[in-house]
Structures are given as structure tokens and as C-alpha cells.
Structure 1
Amino acid sequence: MIAFFVVLLLLSFGTMSWLLFNQSRSIIRSYIESSALEKMDEYGSFIHMALLQSYDLSSLIFNSDVTKKWDAVLSDPDSTDGQKMLSNITLSKLLTQTTNNYTSVSSVSIYREEGMRISADNQVVKDASYKQEDWYRNFIRHSNHWVPAHEDQAEIRGAKPYEVVSLLLPIGIFEPSLARNVMKVNVKAEFLLEPLNRIHLGESGTIFLLDQQGHPILSQEEYQAYPGAAREVQSILAHKAMQGVDYLKDAQGASHILVYKKLPITGWMLVGFVSEQDLYAKLFKLRSTIIGFATVLLIAALLLAYWISSGVTKPLSRLVSAMRHVQKGDFVQAERLTPQGRRVRSEVDYATDTFHTMVKQLRHHIQTEFEQKLLRQQAEYKALLMQIHPHFLFNTLELMSSLAIQQRTEETVTVIDSLGKMLRFSLRISEDLIPLREELKYVRYYVSILEVRFGAGLQLRIEEEGELEDLEIVKFLLQPLIENAVKYSFIRQSEARVTVMVRQEQGRVCLSVADNGIGMAPELVRELEASSVYQQLDQILVSKSRQIGLRNVLARCRLYYGELFVFKVASQPERGTYIELSLPVQRRNEHVSRIDRG
């Protein structure tokens, strides 16, 4: 059976390799063609930019008043030598300025018929040898405006002269043979050749820049290595297609790919050559290597797969299944799928045994951490709760002392009675939850003390909406909020208006306190909304700030209800504050699930 599958796979792989090879060859050829045209487009844009700069610079000099005045001075027989020299220097300055403004232009020179050359940097040279240069004679006789790469005597500096490609234009007239002055704009051949050398076709293919006659413009000697290309290039220049791909065969019968693209403005052409042998040599070698290597790997893989499937696959499947149960939180089933007690014979057995131990320890740690978290939360909650009692007790004792001094006996009795009932209620510190009605009764005792303390200046109203019977909440939530509301309402005014609203809606109990006090700063509101319960605990238990009551309430609600607790603070400076606590509905003998608390 294994031998049958080996033969079948080898035949399938061989067929697939043959198809892939042919398809890859077609793709590579298509890619080379499209890539070459794309690269030619990019280089054509570069050439277009360089030529436009040359023409633009030429236009500036040609139409400049400085150039016209210079020609007039030198053509005037009455001009003195000083005037002519001054005109030459002025023109040289113009050439310097314009040359510095164009990065692609290396230099500009103007040659006068009398045998004088004017260049940038105040170069005024009397030398008629340029008339013997090929570029000058071809321009005068044949109007060849572009000169291929050559050495310009005006550009040669130092021990390493460089070649330039030049644009020739007459000044003052459009006919070269009648021109008294010739402008020569030089562009370094390296400036045009360097980006062209970075473009390759295959490993050894090259792209050449040719003029309108099919001759290389740059110093690219490799062009001579393609003897049959000249005839094909002449054929391409004769027809009107702007770009395309041709296939050639040399004398030995080898195939070559020719990619070409004609450039606008000058009629130049980019031509690229690459041999198919060079193009596909590595592909042939790669095909043979892949077939041999794949055959060896196939046989080894079949043998290895047979061994692995019997000794590894099944234990790994059980281990993966156990991991899925751990992900779901089912540690018991995970332990059943990875039994201990077997002899460790391989890495898989060791991993299974280790995973079983890890699951067992993890379950123990989670249980221990859960119990410790409950104890820690309970202790933190009690600490916050104990912080509330001394706060209002001291204020009330100070009030009783003041009433006694003033001999207001009836009001003193009222305060003592209300304080006693509040203390009796607060002594039930072991209970976290209390009936909502008892919380409201406790609040009303506190309100009666405030009414004695502040008299007619306090307008405090308690409103109830919805079904509030049998509901339970965390104790001591409203009294600190009311105390803050009254306190900050009296800071800058003689009247405090406080509204307490308790309502049930959509499965939530909403407790809200609104006042007309000084309000809260926006920074404080954002701090209250952004701070976590553990950040607050450290601050509240040692804090002596004025927001201790509100922070204490928020911290206790977060500790008990977790993510089920929602609160809202709306405050405007000098216009009051609105605080709303939204708690999940709890009835007697019901408790918020520890999982739901978050």
C-alpha cells in the first residue's frame, strides 16, 4: 500500500512539476516584459525631466535681455574692449545663476563665431579649436542638436575627465548654419547612465539608450555584443509602434527577447536585450533539484509519518482535547484525559504528565486565590465602612454641644434621639446588605439632625418611585452623599436645596442626590470616573480631602458589585452637582453572584 502511494505521489508530483515549470516559464517571460516596460517608463520619465530642464535653461538664456545685450555689444564695431569684457562677465554671471538652478545640468557654454567661449564662473576664453570638433561641425552642417556622450574641453578638470551629453542651440537665429553664437548645454553622462545601470533584465540583460539613428547616446560598449540587434532596431524605428516586445534568434539559434520603448520630444529609444538561456537557466536547475529533493523527502516523510502516527498522534490528540477543556474551565475532565501513573517513554508522555500536574496545581491555586480574594475584599470593605462612622459622629457631637450651650433643650433631645437611633443602626456592622427601607429610615434620622442644625436654610426633599419593597442595598450609601451635598451648598450661599431620589427601573435601583452647591471641577469628575477601586482604597483610607465621603461610597460599591455597579456625575461650577448610583436589583435572601461582580 505504501509503495502504491509512493508511485502515485511521484507521478502526481512529476506531472505537477512539469505543468508548474511551463507555467513558471510563461510567467517569468511575461514578468520580464512587463517589468522591463515599467522600468523603461520610469527611466523615460527621468530622461524627460532632464531634457525639460535642459530646454528650460536654454530658453531662459536664449530669451534673456542679458544675452541679447551681449550679442549687440559684441556685434557693434564701435564697442570698446572694456564694454565687451563687461558684457562677457555679465553673461557669465547669468550662466552661473541659471546653471545652479538646475540639478541635471552640469555646465553651459556659449561659443561665438570669432573663436571665443564664455562659460560660468567668469570663464571667457579665446580659442577657436572648438570649430574642429565633430559636435560643432555636425551641428552646423546637419543640425544635430543632441551630441552623444563625449569629452568636452570646457568640462575637463583634474586628472579624471568625464563625459557629457550636450544640447546645441543657436542664439539669435533658428538656423544653425547661419548662427553667430552657439549655446552648448552639458549634462553629465554619468547622471543619465547611473540610474540606467541599476535596471537589469534577468541576470545579464541590459537596457540601452539610443538616438534617432539607433546609435548609443551613452557609453554602453555592451551594445556591440548584439550584432543582429542593429537591423531589428532600424526596423523598429521605421514603424510607428511606441513600445513592444520582439523575439530574435542569433547565428547559433539561441533565442533572445528584445523590449523597446520610444521616448517623446527627442525621438530617442530605450532597447533592452536578454537571452532566454540566461533567463531560464536557474529555472531548469531548480526543477531538477526540486524533483530529486522532493522524492527523497517524500519517502522519508512516509516512513516518519507511519512511526509518528502510532506513537505520537493519539497522545497528542488527547492532550489537545484536555487543553480545550482547560480553556473552558473544566479542569476535572482535563485531568481525566491525561491520566498519571504510566511510564514516561517519550517527550509526548512527559508533556502529558507535566500537563496533568500543571492542571492539578492550577486548579488548587485558583481555588486558593479565589478564597483569598473574597477575604481581602471583605476586609477592605469593612475598613471603608468603619471610616464612615467617626465622620458624621463628630459633626453631630459638635452640634449637640452647641445646642446645649444655647439651652435649646427640645432640639437637643431631638438630636440625641435621632443620633441614638442612628448609632443603634450602625452597630450592625457585620451586615453588608440592609433593606432599602431601613437605609431610608436611617437617612431620615440624619436629615432630622441636619434640619435642627441648619434650620430654614435647608430645603431637603426625599422622593421615592417604583416598587421598593423587599429590596436590599449596601448600607451607608446615601448619608455621606447627603452630607457632602449640604456642606458644599452652604459654602457660598445661605440656602441649600438638596433632592434625594430613590427609584427602581429596568431591573436597577437608582439612588441620586442633587444640590445647588459650588459644583466640581471637570478634572475631579474625570478622576473619579477613571480611577479604579484599588487606586481609591490606598488613597481613601489615609486621605483627609473633602471628597472622602463620595470616594468612600464609590469604592464600597465597586468592591461589592464589581462591574455591575454604574455611577454618573454631572456637575457645573457654581450651579450644583448631580450624583447617581445605579445598582443591580437584589431582594431579600438573594446575593450578587461573585462571578457577576467581575
Structure 2
Amino acid sequence: MFYSLRNRLILFFVTLLVLSFSTLAILLFNEARSVIRSYIESSALEKMDEYGSYVDMVQTQIYDLASLVFNSSTTEEWDSIVSNPDLGSGEKMLAHLQMSQFLTRAANSYSSVSSVSIYRQEGLWIGSGSASPMESGDFFKQEDWYTRFFAEGKHWAAAHQDQAELEQNNRHPVVSMLMPIGSFEPSRTRSVMKINIGADYFTRPLDRIHLGEKGNIYLLDENGQPLLEPSSFQISASDRERVRQIRSGPAKQGVLYVSDEQGQTSIIVYKKLAMTDWMLIGKVSEADLYANLFKLRISIIIAASVLLVTSIIVASLLSYSITKPLSRLVSAMNDIKRGDFAKAQRKIPPALPVHSEIGYVTFTFGEMTRQLNEHIKTEFELKLLRQQAEYKALLLQINPHFLFNTLELLSSLAMQKRTDDTVSVIESLGKMLRFSLHINDDLTPLKEELKYVRDYIAILRIRFGERLQINLQQQPGLDSLKTIKFILQPLIENAVKYSLPERQEAIVSIEVYRAHRHIHLVVQDNGPGMSDESIAKFLHAPSPARLEQILSSSSWHIGLGNVLARCRLYYGDSFNVHIRSRPLDEDNEQAASGTRIELMIPITENVQKPEIPDIETMKKER
């Protein structure tokens, strides 16, 4: 079927779009990236060379000024007068004034220098151009640049606010060079000279070096710390390690390509400055560097998308009569998968002429859906009817069973002329029969069920007298809970019936309590017990054949089997049962511990019965 519409469309799309535009986009993008990368590398290194020459010029002026002040006789005389304790304050004030004027003249001789100040350890400082030639106070001893100079011998201070600059209403950050006065060792001097250069002198030309739109270039000192805007210096630990390796390497400049943990590639451009151990380093991601190229690629993709949309429209016009019915059939199949046959039938397209393949598929699928829906409805209704019939049959099996036993008891009491006991049995039997007449109500309040059980216990106590010891314990607060009818009486009847022949006294205990969202109904006796085979049979849910066997059985297992079958029919998987028993040993009669049956039914509290729906109601709803 090479000439089919589907294969021709596939060939058209692959040839026109996938091959042509993919090849064009890959070649164009790779070639453009290579050109841009080469240009960026050469341009960045060239501008870094220019910036390095500029920094060397600024540093040369700073060192010249520092040498001028350090070697000046004015500085030597001022230091001598200030250090002499025998001289008066007037002479020292005159020396401060002369020194301040000298510093002002020196600072004005260099365009890059903002101010010069000298700080002494006894807590005074003198600056160029200050309103007062001498200031007192040891505030500067707490400054980072001061403590690091004496502790680490650090001669350069990164961009910061300076008190001398603030005195002149200059709030711009400065970069400072520190130099001891009178000695080259910071530990042997009492005065330190601080030359301030406006950080703008470094940042303005540095801002003209661009690495993409968001790439950053940093000026680092000899320790790898930023000199300009330290707060904006945010690089990862791996990048810091790369800076350390670059600094310790022999290369003066270069370009590195690195990848981060997310697999994104970045470009690092670096240059070591000649005069000091400073270094320029810049980093930019390829995504930022090739932003314009990515925009070009997006434009190509848009152009390809326009052609794709045009091709799809043309192809849609050709295949509309095929794809639309098939899409509706697929949607109808999904609804059928979820079981919504009515919605699926609404989505099935109208049948086309039978000689068309699509028309034949549509017609066949619609007929199959209709027949399958009818079949499922019929089977579901039959299953519900069968379930209701089984449950009602099991319920009807209980009522005659205890009634016959009670009538036999009344006959015996009448023959013995025990009038009071006969009256009590008749009253209890009447209450039980009145309760039993409501056979259409599957659920009953637990309080009513236990009242029914107490009436039955009253009959048993009259029947067996001192040979029966029976006790019922109920946890408080269970009156609002509901359970299915006649769930305890058959178990109590079996416990009494099969305990008395083996024991002088039958002991039966009944316990009702609530735990873990279930009602626990426990009946325990001291009878002969049950075999493991019998217990295993009751613990497994009965098949339909087993239900028929229970309904037709007349054995002593009818009570327990009936109760378990009804619970499983009504509660399904939410119901559970535990049976614990030790069979009677003929050689050791005391070894038997009786049987303990524990029913765990889900809590139902003031709700309508949902488990066994009414078929007639369902038919009306349909």
C-alpha cells in the first residue's frame, strides 16, 4: 500500500520538514556558534588587555603618591613631632595643619586619587582636604581594612565606605591602598597611610567589557577576593577552586570551557595583571552568550512551524473524512473501557455507506457496542437477583430453626405444668417472632439485635436451668450502630447445643465491642471444639455450589455456615472472621478448650443499606 494516503503524507512530512529544516538548523546553528565563540574570546581578551593597562596606570599613580608621602621630609617631621611627648599641643596642631596641607597637595596632583589619610594607633587621624586638620577617636581600629592590615599584612582593601570620604560628603565606595609610615613592616609602625581611589575609576571601564547579556567580570586581588562590589561576587565552590587553579597556573591569560552539575556549559575568560598579582576573570553561560543565536533558531523553528501548520491543513482537508470518524471511534472506545456505554453510543459517528471501509467499521462497532451493553445489563441484573434470592433464602432458613426448638421446649414445659416458665417462654418467643416478622429489613440497630439475643438467652436459661452458664458483655455507646439480623442467635444456639452433651455445665460467653472501624461479635464455649479441616472450610468464602449445600444442609454446621454466608453476601470483602478451637481429646478430656468465633463486621451507623441494591429501582432509573 505504498500509494495509500497515509504513506504519502508520511513521506511528504519527512522529506519537506524533518530532513530539510533539521539539516539547515543544525548547520546554521553550529557555524554561527563557532563564529560567535571565536569573536567573543578575542574581543574579551583584547578588552581585558586594555583594562589591565588602565589598572596598571592607576596603580602607578598610587604607588608614586605613596612613595612621595613616605619619603617626604614633611611626613618625617610630622611623625617626629606627634611622637614627642615633650612638645605642646600648639606645636602639634601646627604640624597637623602642615601635614594636612601637604596631603591635600599630593592628592590633587593625581587625578585618580580621591583622598589620602594617615591613622595613628593612639587614636587620631589626619586627612587631605578635611575640614579639621586632625580628628580624634579610635573608630577606625574596628574597621576591617585596619585589622586585616596589622593582622595579615593586607595592603589593599576592597570597595568600602571611608570616614575621610564621608567628611567630604562623598558617599561613593572607595578602593584603598595601605602603607606603613616610617617602616615597611606593619608590626613596627605606629602610623598607616591610606590612599583612597574611587571604585568608579575601576568599575566604569570594566562595565564596557561585555560577556553576553548577563556575563559578569570580576577584578580579584592577590588572595582571589573581589575588589569591586564584594556583595555581588557570588560564584560556586567549584568556580572558586578553578580560580585558585588558574592563579597558581603559569598561563597569563586564556579561555576555559566548563560544565556544571546540570550539564550546562559556561565560558571562563581570565587575565593576570602585570604590575600586581591581581586578576580579571569573567564567566558567562553558553545560553546567555548565544542568546541572539537562540533567537535565530527560534525564528527558524517558527518558520518551520508555519510550514508545518500549512501542511497539516492541506493534509487535514485530504484525510478529514477518515480521521474524524476514527477519532470519534477511539473516544467511544475509551468510554467503553471505563464502562460508560451511553456516552460511547452518543460519540459513535453516523454510519457511512456500507461499501466504505470507514462506514463498515462504524456500523459494526455501533452494533457491537449496543449488543455488549445489553448483554452486560442482563448479566448484572441476573447476578443481583441471584444474590438477593440467596440472601433471603439464608435468612428464612434461620427463623424456622429456632422456632421448632422453642415449640418443643413449650411442649415439655406444659407437660411438666411449669406455668410460670411457660408464660416467660411465650413472652420471650412473642418478642422474638415480632422482631422476625420484619424480614425485608436487612439491617437492624445493634441494640435491637442484642435485645433479640437476650430474649433467646432467657428461653435457654429456662430450658437448661443450672446446666447452662451464659454471659453477655456489651461495650457502652454502641446503640447507634447497625448490623444484619439474626447474626448472634445461631452461634449461641450451636455453642449451647454442642457443649452440653460433652460437659456437665455449658459455659457460653458473648462479647460485643467496637475496634478499628469494625464491630467485633465474639461467642466462646467450652464444647468439644472443631477440627482444623472444618475451620478451614468455614474460613473460605463459599462458592455458589457451597451456598446451595448450606441451604439444603441439616447438619449441625447450618448455624455457623448460614451466618458466615449471609455476612459475606452482605458485606463482601469488608467482613472478616476468626475461629479458634481445640478438638476434644478422648484420652484427655480437659485438653479441649472449646471454640471461639469472632465476627468482624464493618461499622454501619444510621445509613441506608447500599450493599444489595433493589433490581426494580435500578430498572426505573435506567
TM-score by length of 2: 0.45
TM-score by length of 1: 0.47
